[in-house]
Structure 1
Amino acid sequence: MSAADTTTPAKVPLPRQAPPPPGAAATARTRPRPSRRGAAVPWLLLAPCLVTLVLVMGYPLVRLVTLSFQTFGQSQLWGFQPAEWVGLRNFRTVLGDGEFWAVVLRTVVFAAGCVVATMVLGMAVALLQQRVSRWLRTLVNIVLVASWGMPVIVATTVFKWLFDSDYGVLNALLSKVPGVHMSGHNWFASGPQGLAVIMLLVVWGAVPFVVITLSAGLTQVPKELEEAARLDGAGSWGVFRHVTLPILKPVVVMLTTLSVIWDMGVFPQVFVMRGGHPEPEFQVLNTYSYDRAFVVNDYAQGSAIALITVLLLLGVVAVYMRQMLRIGEVE
């Protein structure tokens, strides 16, 4: 072996790393580390709200589910007989009743009409507000908030007086039109006509919230995009369809879903408008559930109908969540 082979190999120097930027070490030392205590703070702040929801909504929901699987009437209410577990018998009875499906169809049609009218009218008013002066926009907002803040019972009583057959203002005004004779006309003589009046009441109470929310959303639409669309030859409808509506889609989806939930859960408008005794052609799901529970005194079937209504609304919520997740993925 030669002398060259016995020499110690030279060490290759490692490449020098670039020095950290000034202040990086101090930043690394001062960066706060997440702690268990910090992670628990949001839950501690939410605890009062969660406890309130459990106390206010938890027990009634559990009781509702329990009653729907039992036989529970006046005898069980007063303690003369114990409640008996009957499994799915109440649900089979309800789902096998043709009257129930008629009520479901009436509720869906009623809610769909209210939602479409509310969204179309609310969008129209919100768009018109963008074209008027500031003082007129402020005046309209004040009127909207005032009507929105009116209690439902008060608004229903006012509408009941407006459409009264003998002393109603609407009949008196329509009778002044040449060739129109509406004196003594009963708007609630037929189900469709009476439900149209109640639908008008529901839309009147829901439009303010939709208008205010959409007006806030319209302020986030970039004016540059609208001007660019107009320069490309788009008209007012084209600007709304291709620029305004896509930006407002999350707000529109949210408002539509909330409107469906609220309008399918209508109760006081129908109940008060019909004097506490809605006729069969005016029954919707909530009033039908109330009628079965507190008029027929079959609390078990009333609970089953209410639980079915909750499941239907959960389906609407599931569709809403799916749409919102898709919107989030696109963004």
Structure 2
Amino acid sequence: MSTASSRLTPMVQPVDGEGEFPSTGIEPPERRRFLRPGTLTPFALLTPALIALVVITGWPLLQLLIMSFQEYGRAQVFGAPPEFVGLENYIDILTDAEFWGVLGRSVAFAAVCVVATMVLGVLIALLMNRLGKVMRTVVSVGLLLSWAMPPLSATIVWGWIFDPQYGVLNNILTNWFGLDFAGHPWLLEPLSFFFVAAIIIVWGAIPFVVFTVFAGLTQVPDEVLEAAQLDGAGGTKRFFLVVVPYIKSILVIVTILQIIWDLRVFTQIYALQSIGGLAEQTNTLGVYIYRVSLGSGDFGVGGAISVIVVLLLAAVSIFYVRQTVKEDSL
């Protein structure tokens, strides 16, 4: 009986009160797992990318943060020592009515662009899912052409379309529909200016949404859709009750990316202002930072605005990262 009981006695003793294993010659499971061959390989592979990320992104961000606490103008650019002013730049910005106007304008403009991009992108993706191979290829090529066009080139082309004297849009509205749009200045009014800018931005952003959502639609099982149809669910119910749950993670991630990109839009707004828009009434955050920094030469205030924008985008990015990690853990 004693021999049998001794055989059943566990060889590993329980952990003592200090949280360490007694001297049995057996290492803790966590330590054995960490010391297994190949455990450090992922960290070694990530090290070059992390170093490049710190050098390319981290160092400029650190310099931007330091500059935001200094009085840094044209004199400092030519060698004069900067003066530390603490939170003065941030106080000036947060108490400036123009900054809050630009911020509100940028958020509202980004919201309109994101909603329009997501709605049109999802609709086109659903259309591509129903098309045959030939028409799907034609639509894909058209989307790739618009996606591949540089933002500046696209803005110049759209600027010609909306040109007051020679633009094709005014000509069509006047001669074909009999509307009074002869010489209409689309870019001189803030509302119509942002209407043109929204068309350009949405036109360039739709292909990314379409291809991403279409890839998600191909993963929805046909058997589930057929079962829902047999149960009497129409097209709208099948989309919201069957398709959306399958591609919810894709829709969330794409929406967050669109918010980040549209909040920091620069090229389209600046190019349209150069063509004929009023900068004071149409500035967004990206253009406003550029004009404050290079226009007035106040790089310290421009740095403070940039840090505020970075914090705003970081708040959105944190949600994006959490969603990505959550999906990877499932």
Report the TM-score when normalising by structure 1. Answer: 0.86
- After TM superposition, give the deviation of residue 34 of structure 1 in Å: 7.4
Q: Deviations over 1:101-138 (max 9, x none)?
A: 00000000000001000000000000011111111001
Aligned to 1:290: 290
The whole-number CA distance in structure 2 between the counterparts of 1:173 and 1:222 is 45
Instruction: Give the AA of the match of 1:251.
Output: I
Query: Which is greater in Rg?
Result: 1
1:201 aligns to 2:200 (yes or no):
yes
Q: What's 1:250 paired with?
A: 249
Q: Confirm whether residue 68 of structure 1 aligns to residue 77 of structure 2.
A: no
1:127 maps to 126
Kept in 1, the 8 Å contact 2:125–2:211? The answer is yes
Deviation readout 1:178-232 (Å, 9 max, x if unpaired): 3212221110121111011001100000000100011100000011111111111
Structural mapping, 1:138-157, within 5 Å: 138-157=137-156
Paired residue secondary structure (1:221):
coil
The one-letter amino acid of 1:192's match is L
Q: Contact 2:70–2:85 (CA<8 Å) still a contact in 1? A: yes
**Do the aligned partners of 2:105 and 2:284 also contact (CA within 8 Å) in 1?**
yes
Alignment partner, residue 49 of structure 1: 49
**1:264 to 2:266 alignment:** no
Query: Does 1:170 pair with 2:169?
Result: yes
Q: What is the Cα deviation at residue 82 of structure 1? A: 1.7
Measure, in 1, the Cα distance between the counterparts of 2:51 and 2:5. Answer: 65
Q: How far, CA to CA, are the matches of 1:153 and 1:278 in structure 2?
A: 18
Q: CA deviation at 1:175?
A: 1.6
Distance change in 2, residues 1:250/1:191 (3 Å): same
Contact 2:190/2:278 (8 A) holds in 1: no
How is 1:1-331 mapped onto 2 (pairs within 5 angstroms)?
A: 38-79=38-79, 81-275=80-274, 279-324=279-324
Are 2:173 and 2:181, in contact at CA under 8 Å, matched by a contact in 1? yes
Deviation at 1:301, TM superposition (A): 0.3
Q: Distance in 1 between matches of 2:259 and 2:41?
A: 35
TM-score computed with the length of structure 2 as normaliser = 0.86
How far, CA to CA, are the matches of 1:237 and 1:82 in structure 2? 64
* Structure 1 stretches lacking a partner, 5+ long: 1-8, 16-32
Cα pair distance change 1:88/1:10, threshold 3 Å:
closer
Identical amino acids, percent of aligned pairs = 42
Take 2:288 and 2:213, find their aligned partners in 1: how far apart are those partners? Answer: 34
Instruction: Judge which range, 41-50 or 147-156, deviates more.
Output: 41-50
Bigger mean CA deviation after superposition, 285-294 or 167-176: 167-176
- What residue identity is the alignment partner of 1:308? I
Say if 2:187 and 2:272, in contact at 8 Å, map to a contact too: no
Query: Which residues of structure 2 form unaligned runs of 5+?
Result: 8-32
2:253–2:323: 8 Å Cα contact kept in structure 1?
A: no
Alignment partners' CA distance in 2, 1:239 and 1:12? 64
Contact kept in structure 2, 1:293 and 1:302, CA below 8 Å = yes
Q: 1:139 to 1:250 in 2, by over 3 A?
A: same
Query: How many residues align structurally?
Result: 305
